[in-house]
Amino acid sequence: MKVSIPLHSRRELLLGVALAGRAAESRDVDYFADNGFGNPSSTLQHPTGVNHNGATYIAYQGPHEDSYVAAYHHASHKWSGPVLAGVNLMGKSPDPVENKDLDNHGKPAMMVDKKGYIHVVFGAHGGSPILGKNTLGTPGSLRGGKFTHIVSKNPEDITAWVKLENISPFGTYPQFVQMDNGDLYLFYRHGAHRSDWVYQKSVDFGRTFQPPVSILKHKAQQSNPAVHDSWYAWFAKGHGETITASHVYHLCENPGHTNERSNTYFMRMNTRDGSWVNAAGEKLTISVTKEYADRKTLIFDTGTERCSHGTCRVDSNGNPHVNFRYGKGQVRYCRWTGTEWTKPTPIFPDGGASDGDLVVESPTSARMILTSRNGDTAEVGWWKTIDGGTTWSKEPPILAKPGGSYDIGALIENFDQDAVILLSEEIPADYLYRRMILLSNKGPVKRPAVDASYIQDKLKALRDAGVEPETKESRAVSKPNKKRKGA
């Protein structure tokens, strides 16, 4: 039976639908963008966010594995971007829907120089061999990309970018350190797995960089040339004019490459003369080999247990505090007392934390912000020690979501309580796209849904084509733990 609706009722109905749609679009959501892609950020490429002159600038990997930049303006509580800042030569079109088809090593690191220009480095897993000879390591495959440096055309403006050809094309894992005098240091691995870790220094706000300086040496083992000594390293500003380096060892086999890593090490650079010392202040000869590191810079020998890198911060005395993952993935912490390293202690006695970063408040007081699981609930929050790391107490989670999953980056450079750290949220029903979250100490920095939505057309096209997203089970099969490509 056909029902007749009066004209005024139809108008009211249409108005109600329109208002409901507008309300849905204007509601605030926890994320500032939904176009993170693959593994959008990590602690190894850092910083991914910088607080500068009242705004927090953020860089992350978006569709096509390209680099996107957004900005949050603290006084107005408004967002700008994200904008496509740089194209990653390793990206595939259309976007892959399976994790095994992503490289994920071209993620960006960023820094804002003293003049307000925004620098982003991204785009390579070693660099392609067609770019020339890599004298400090091995390039990646033909799809190894190109290590790329871009800078904003204007200060504090994310809308236009310029490419600068002033760094090596061979690289991965970019890490920026800016000193108080404005000197910029770019640390990275100079190529694929079998490559040195190096830095390039700029004294003109990133407009030119000096040639690479090798600090951690890769080399073939004498007993078996098919096995190479290699490294994963993390660099940050230390006390005064120093830069810290914490690193883990990687035994790189070819063929049969695995994700084996072990031990953790520390050394420190004096930027006044470029010299390096260990925690005890003993001068080091650079570049450091595995045998030399075992004698001079070893913090902890993990034996046959796998050890993953963490982060390193210093206290008011300049003494380093280090975290790393060891023993069933437990996040562990140790510190240099001035005379010795303390025994590494787990933050979570029963494991369960995945990654995070560290704030040192005093020689015996520190806090770690970590992702973890509480049953089926994903949590992000602070853990604190006031006794030098012997015991840790859990603070109420800043963010908790049943069935959720979060990846975390390093702390925002110069962070304040309104913008602490960058997260990405996994959404299994949305293929490999991720929601990007800027977390304050009170929770996610919100944004209207209509302004945070960027990929609806992509999702609709995939679903209309009948393409199914990955599940956790299929992802585990496509990227097995013991033979992981491209670590």
Q: pLDDT tens for the chain, 487 residues: list them.
A: 434 434 444 444 444 444 444 445 579 999 999 999 999 999 999 999 999 999 999 999 999 999 999 999 999 999 999 999 999 999 999 999 988 899 999 999 999 999 999 999 999 999 999 999 999 999 999 999 999 999 999 999 999 999 999 999 999 999 999 999 999 999 999 999 999 999 999 999 999 999 999 999 999 998 888 889 999 999 999 999 999 999 999 999 887 788 889 999 999 999 999 999 999 999 999 999 999 999 999 999 999 889 999 999 999 999 999 999 988 778 999 999 999 999 999 998 776 667 899 999 999 999 999 998 888 899 999 999 999 999 999 999 999 999 889 999 999 999 999 999 999 998 767 789 999 999 999 999 999 999 999 998 888 888 888 888 876 656 655 554 443 334 4
Which domains does the chain carry? 41-478 (2.130.10.150)
Query: Which of 31, 57, 60, 173 is flagged as catalytic?
Result: 173
- 454 has catalytic annotation: no
- Residue 370 pairs in a beta bridge with 356, 381
Is the dihedral angle over the CA atoms 163, 166, 172, 177 positive or is it negative?
negative
CA distances from 418 to 74, 167, 394, 399, 421 (A): 8, 34, 21, 14, 10
Give the residue from 201, 95, 202, 187 showing the smallest Cα distance to 147: 187
pLDDT of residue 304: 87
- Residue 248 pairs in a beta bridge with 232
Burial class from Cβ neighbours inside 10 Å (0-12, 13-18, 19+) for residue 373 reads: middle
CA angle 152, 154, 159 (to 5 degrees): 60
Phi first, then psi: what are they for 8, rounded to 5°? Answer: -65, -30
Phi first, then psi: what are they for 302, rounded to 5°? Answer: -90, 0
User: Is residue 82 reached through a cis peptide bond, with omega within 30 degrees of 0 on the bond before it?
Assistant: yes
pLDDT of residue 56: 98
User: Is residue 63 reached through a cis peptide bond, with omega within 30 degrees of 0 on the bond before it?
Assistant: no
Query: Which of 105, 125, 228, 250 is flagged as catalytic?
Result: 105
pLDDT of residue 18: 41
d(CA 269, CA 378): 38
3 state DSSP class of 11: helix
pLDDT of residue 259: 85
pLDDT of residue 17: 40
Is the dihedral angle over the CA atoms 61, 63, 69, 74 positive or is it negative?
negative
The token duo for 306 is 């796998």
Amino acid at residue number 472: K
DSSP string covering 249-273? EEEEESSS-----EEEEEEEEETTT
d(CA 285, CA 287): 6
Phi first, then psi: what are they for 116, rounded to 5°? Answer: 95, 0
Under 8 Å between Cβ of 344 and 334:
yes
- 173 has catalytic annotation: yes
pLDDT of residue 25: 59
pLDDT of residue 477: 56
